Structure formats: structure tokens, C-alpha cells
Amino acid sequence: MFGTEYRRYGSWYPWQNFHRLQNQINSLFGNFPDHYSGQYPAINVWQNHDDTIITAEIPGVKSEDLDIDVQGETLTIRGQRKIHELQDDEKYHRQERENSSFVRAIQLPYHIDVDKVRAKLEKGLLQLTLPRAQSDKPKKVKVLNA
């Protein structure tokens, strides 16, 4: 019977579209690295003995549209990405970018000296240098001989 139906439909395979859709869905979920959190903006955080350094990808965001706040051991980055406003005689042919705002809070590994925080925005990459508070740095204890 299958052979008869196959000849009747030619090379048409009834489950072809289903398999194609399943492959497309699988490829959507398979393209993200395991460590990708899906939050915006994407960030990297690393530290050395004196500083925590954070980079965040925020293309299209201007420095005046950013608000960076450090309280205790929490860093909060707020911002807004604004797109080109159309004139009366303009219309979109395609619009994939939109006005959007974001908030990202990050737990820091230690207290920060807020007065010494440095922020730089260059080519869509925000870099924050967060110095460790002196009171939070490990202290060496000298052992005396008795």
C-alpha cells in the first residue's frame, strides 16, 4: 500500500515539512553557547587582585543614555537604545531595530571603592573598571616569634 501511495504522490513525502520545521527549531536552540544567559547586554566579568573589570556590548547606545550605579556589591547598568526618528516624508522599508531600554544587575565579588570607578564607552563596548575597596582587601598578618 505504501508503494502505491508513494507512486501516486511522486517524490512527495508527507512528513517532509514536519522534519524541515523540526530541524529549523533544533538549529535555533543549537546555535547558542552553553554559557549564554540570553540577557542584554551581553557581559564579561573578570578580576585581579585589585580590580573587577566588566565589559558590556551595547551597540547604538550613547553615553548620555546610560546610568551606572554601584551599591554595596551590586552593579546596575541601565540604558536606552534610540533609533533614527523618521521624517514626515520617510518610511521604513525594513525595521529590525527598535527603541528599547534595558537593566542589568550584576553581583560583584567584593565591595567596590565607588570614588575610583572608571567607565569608558568606545565603539559600542562599555568597559568598567571597579577597584576593590581598601577595607575589603585581604590583610597579611605577621606572625611574631615568642
pLDDT at 36: 53
Tell me the C-alpha distance between 123 and 131, whole Å: 24
Confidence at residue 67, expressed as pLDDT on a 0 to 100 scale: 96
Binned average pLDDT, 10 residues per bin, the chain of 146 residues: 50 69 72 61 90 93 94 90 84 80 90 93 96 84 88
Query: Phi first, then psi: what are they for 97, rounded to 5°?
Result: -100, 150
Contact status, residue 75 vs residue 108, Cβ threshold 8 Å:
yes
Q: Which domains does the chain have, with CATH numbers?
A: 37-85+97-135 (2.60.40.790)
Query: In this structure, what DSSP letter does residue 112 have?
Result: B
CA 143/CA 83 separation, integer angstroms: 62
Q: DSSP characters for 18-73?
A: HHHHHHHHHHHHHSS-TT----SS-EEEEE-SSEEEEEEE-TT--GGGEEEEEETT
pTM: 0.66
pLDDT at 25: 77
Cell 525594513 belongs to which residue? 94
Looking at residue 10, what is its pLDDT? 54
Distance linking the first and last C-alpha atoms of the chain: 98
pLDDT score for 32: 53
> Exposed e or buried b for every residue in 50-78, given b needs 16+ CB within 10 A?
ebbebbbebeebeeeebebebeeeebebe
